[in-house]
A and B are shown apart, each in its own frame.
Chain A
Amino acid sequence: MWPKTRRADDADDTVEINEFLHDEGARRLSVALRDRDWPTAREILTGADPEHFMYYMEFAASADGVEEWIPDVIRAEPNSTLPLLVRGARAVYWAWDARGSGTSDTVSQEQWKIWFQRLKLAENCLDEVIDRDPGCAEAWHYLVVLGRARQLPMEERWHRFNKLIEIDPTHLFGHEQMLNNLMPKWSGSTEAMFDFARTRAAACPGTNVPLIVAQAHLEHRWSEGGKAYLRRPEVSGEICAAAHTSVWHDDYRRSLLTPVLWNHFAYSLSVGRLFRPANALFDEIGDEWVRTAPWRSVERFTELRDWSREKDDDTGRDD
Chain B
Amino acid sequence: MWPFKKESAAEEEAPEFCRFLDEDAERLRDALRKRDWETARGILGATDPETRSYYFSVAASTYGIERWITGAEPGAALPLLIRGAALLTSAWELRPDGWTGRISDAAAELWTRWVSQAAACIDEVTTREPGWADAWTWSIALSRSLGLPLDERWRRFHRLIEIEPDHWYGHEQMLLALTPKWGGSSEAVFDFARTRAAACPGTHIPALVALAHREHNAHLSAVREPDNPDRSLELTYYEPTEITDDLWEAAQLSFWHDDYETTVLTPIVWNNFAYAFAWGDFHKPAWALFDSIGEDWITRSPWGDVEFFLRSRDYTRDNLE
List the interface of chain A (C-beta within 8 A of B): 1-2, 4, 198, 201, 213, 228, 231-235, 237-238, 240-242, 244-245, 273-277, 279-280, 283, 312-319
Contacts and interface: CB of A to CB of B under 8 A. Distances in A.
Contacts of B116: none
A225 B300 CA distance: 28
25 contacts: A1-B1, A1-B3, A201-B106, A231-B229, A233-B97, A233-B102, A234-B103, A234-B104, A237-B95, A237-B107, A237-B110, A241-B107, A241-B110, A244-B110, A274-B94, A276-B89, A276-B90, A277-B63, A313-B19, A314-B19, A314-B300, A316-B57, A318-B172, A319-B218, A319-B302
A315 B64 contact: no
Given A244-B110, A280-B63, A316-B57, A237 B94 contact: yes
Given A233-B94, A241-B104, A275-B93, A317 B18 contact: no
A315 B63 contact: no
Contacts of A315: 20, 54, 57-58, 61
Given A1-B296, A314-B299, A238 B106 contact: yes
Interface residues on B, range: 35 or more
B230 A231 contact: yes
Contacts of A244: 110
Nearest to B102: A234
Nearest to B59: A315
B101 interface: yes
Nearest to B97: A233
Contact of B95 (A1, A233, A242): A233
B23 interface: yes
Nearest to B114: A244
A313 B302 CA distance: 15
Contacts of B101: 233-234
A119 B6 CA distance: 70
B268 interface: yes
B110 A283 contact: no
* Top 8 A-B residue pairs of the complex, sorted by shortest distance between their CB atoms: A237-B107, A241-B106, A238-B104, A231-B229, A2-B23, A314-B300, A276-B63, A280-B64
A235 B93 CA distance: 12
Contacts of A283: 64
A228 B230 contact: yes
B93 A238 contact: no
A273 B229 CA distance: 10
Contacts of B29: 313
